[in-house]
Structure 1
Amino acid sequence: MWSQPQWKHCLYGDIPTSARLEKYAQVFNTVEGNTTFYALPTLPTVMNWRDAVPDDFRFTFKLPKTITHDLQLQHAQAELTHFFNTMEPLIDKTAMWKIQLPAQFGPSLLPTLERFLQQLPKGLTYGVEVRHRAFFNKSDHEKALNRLLITHQCNRIIMDSRPLFAAKADTPIMIDAQQKKPQVPVHPIATAHQPVVRFIGQCDPQINLAFFQRWRTKLAQWINEGKQPYLFIHTPDNIQAPELALSFYNTLTEVINPSSLPQIHLQQGSQNTSNQLDFLF
């Protein structure tokens, strides 16, 4: 996301809403576009998004839920064609197309996933997020999923919600977040060149940082192997996300040569840390 009103204190100042994406892209170099999961944007909107960011900025967009959840990847060629035709102006600035599957999409549907991956436009990068418990128990089902993704050079999206569920749900924000986010085991595997981590944090910045320490070594390993990992940050509210992203980013300088990382600077403001911002290493 990029149009968060509460980010005025550290990112946007008093610029108009229409200029927020351009400002966001001056600080961070990727964003997770959730809007396409719920509805397709208009062509003018797509063109505005494209023109608001520099050539080296990279979006990631979810495929519509009509394809992933309603049709569960079956008989979806018309919807798939319409989606990519609509998004065509943004293809060169989109790093990954995300396929988020519902919890009921289990091992018996792996052949459906394989057929769907074969139907996708060639030459683009894809990521798959599964939520069925059978894909998180290191069983033959999970191994079959990973082999399928490796075969098709498709990235497995890793959900880390441990920080969120390490806190007691004693506020409306925490209750809502724990109800919406899945609690699944974390298996940090790279099935393709651009592994994706979705870090679901909580309101306590120290607990978030403690859990993030476990990712520093893995991110550094992937980078040293020549991979391009993506890290997307979420916590229960959306107010202090830029600071949280920056604090995580800065911890990487302890394990990666700082000169190899782009500089990130925010305006002066609150240094508390909280919800969602997406940034790329």
Structure 2
Amino acid sequence: MKFGKLPDISDVDFSLPADAPGNAQRLSALPANGAAPQLYIGCTGWSMKEWVGSVYPKGTKAKDYLKAYSLQFNTIELNTTHYRIPDAQTIDKWYRESTADFRFCPKVPQTISHSKSLGLGTDLIPTFCTAIAGLKEKLGCCFLQPPPYFGADRLPQLEQFLQAFPAEIQLAVEVRHESWFEDVRSLEQLLNTLHRLQRSVVITDVAGRRDVLHMGVTNATAMVRFVGNGLHPTDYARAADWVGRLKQWAQQGVKEIYFFPHEPDNLLAPEMAAHFYETAAEGIPAIQTRGPELSEPGDPKGEQMSLF
């Protein structure tokens, strides 16, 4: 993930800001269902041959990467759907080769997110939604990532898109243009629109764009994209801060959390995921989650995991 990356992070203030102003009111409207909060932790892809022997068992073949991945992680930021809508055979293969508790979080195709119309008035939205509906109960929260030039003046069009997107499919929105964050009114208009339409918002924690770390919550599902810096000590401090904030939100009614660690070239993302899992399992009462158990080269554990 290149967005917001910096070559030098020595002057960055990585502390988490206060919650968005309207969070308390939006969270107070959440229904109390008594269910334990669920935490999903995952990476941005499973096709990493470098993970064989540490994340995946020694000798794992490429055709079995998804099986091995879903045994270690319980979700994925599915970026492949940004570039093409998968066919029914692919969807069925993903469904069959993943564990029962796994959740796919597909990225809305760029033919929708990067079009002037956001796909409105075309068959792109129903085609995409019909395809991913084949994931059935393994379909998690989709996310829409418009281009960086998609500004706050397009909120009315975004609202039209949200109304056209099937209500039964979870959706989160990530915005990046500076106009959304230049004043609190623009951000709160976005957050309140998402809240009214029961959609989520993506929070991105990245060194070079601290404004997108808006700390808004709009419904019972929170999605965090955590961009690390090669397991720099600040990555671990930030992870601890996130556990504290997510604990607070869980106590206020958030029931589902998606946390996606990004590290350079995706190589170290499993290490951060494992660390975050251990920290969250200890720090958030009653949280339901699981995370990766990694092995060092030569560790017998790297050879013992069964792929179903």
Q: TM-score, normalised by structure 1?
A: 0.83
Q: Does 1:3 align with 2:51?
A: no
Question: 1:14 aligned to 59, 72, 87, which one?
Answer: 59
Matched to 1:129, the amino acid is E
Question: What is the aligned partner in structure 1 of residue 22 from structure 2?
Answer: none
Residues 72 and 105 in structure 1, CA contact (< 8 A), matched pair in contact too: no
Q: Does 1:225 align with 2:252?
A: yes
Residues 145 and 173 in structure 2, CA contact (< 8 A), matched pair in contact too: yes
Question: What is the aligned partner in structure 2 of residue 39 from structure 1?
Answer: 84
Greater relative CO, 1 or 2 (CA 8 Å, sep 6+): 2
Residues 159 and 193 in structure 2, CA contact (< 8 A), matched pair in contact too: yes
Q: Percent identity?
A: 32
* SS of residue in 2 equivalent to 1:184: helix
Question: What is the aligned partner in structure 2 of residue 205 from structure 1?
Answer: 232
Change (3 A) 1:262 1:142: closer
Change (3 A) 1:76 1:211: farther
Q: Distance in 2 between matches of 1:92 and 1:3?
A: 23
Change (3 A) 1:79 1:53: same
Residues 6 and 238 in structure 1, CA contact (< 8 A), matched pair in contact too: no
Q: Distance in 2 between matches of 1:230 and 1:267?
A: 20
Please report how far the alpha carbon of residue 105 of structure 1 lies from its aligned counterpart in structure 2 after TM superposition.
1.4
Change (3 A) 1:76 1:104: farther
Structure 2 gap ranges (5+): 1-44, 298-308
Please report how far the alpha carbon of residue 184 of structure 1 lies from its aligned counterpart in structure 2 after TM superposition.
3.5
Q: Does 1:269 align with 2:286?
A: no
Change (3 A) 1:267 1:202: closer
Please report how far the alpha carbon of residue 87 of structure 1 lies from its aligned counterpart in structure 2 after TM superposition.
2.3
Question: What is the aligned partner in structure 1 of residue 274 from structure 2?
Answer: 246
Matched to 1:25, the amino acid is S
1:1-281 equivalent positions in 2, closer than 5 A: 1-12=45-56, 13-162=58-207, 165=208, 184-227=211-254, 228-257=256-285, 260-269=287-296
Q: Distance in 2 between matches of 1:31 and 1:116?
A: 24
Change (3 A) 1:145 1:5: same
Residue-by-residue CA offset, 1:84-139 (whole Å, 9 max, x unaligned): 22223114311111111112211221110111111111212110000111212343
Q: Aligned Cα RMSD in Å?
A: 1.9
> Higher helix share goes to which structure?
1
* SS of residue in 1 equivalent to 2:266: coil
Please report how far the alpha carbon of residue 217 of structure 1 lies from its aligned counterpart in structure 2 after TM superposition.
1.1
* SS of residue in 2 equivalent to 1:149: helix
Q: Distance in 1 between matches of 2:184 and 2:291?
A: 41
Residue-by-residue CA offset, 1:202-254 (whole Å, 9 max, x unaligned): 11431211222221211111222342111111012222221211012212244
Aligned length: 251
Displacement over 4 Å in runs of 4+? none
Q: Distance in 1 between matches of 2:84 and 2:212?
A: 30
Residue-by-residue CA offset, 1:144-202 (whole Å, 9 max, x unaligned): 1111111111111001102xx4xxxxxxxxxxxxxxxx663412121111111100111
Matched to 1:247, the amino acid is H
Q: TM-score, normalised by structure 2?
A: 0.76
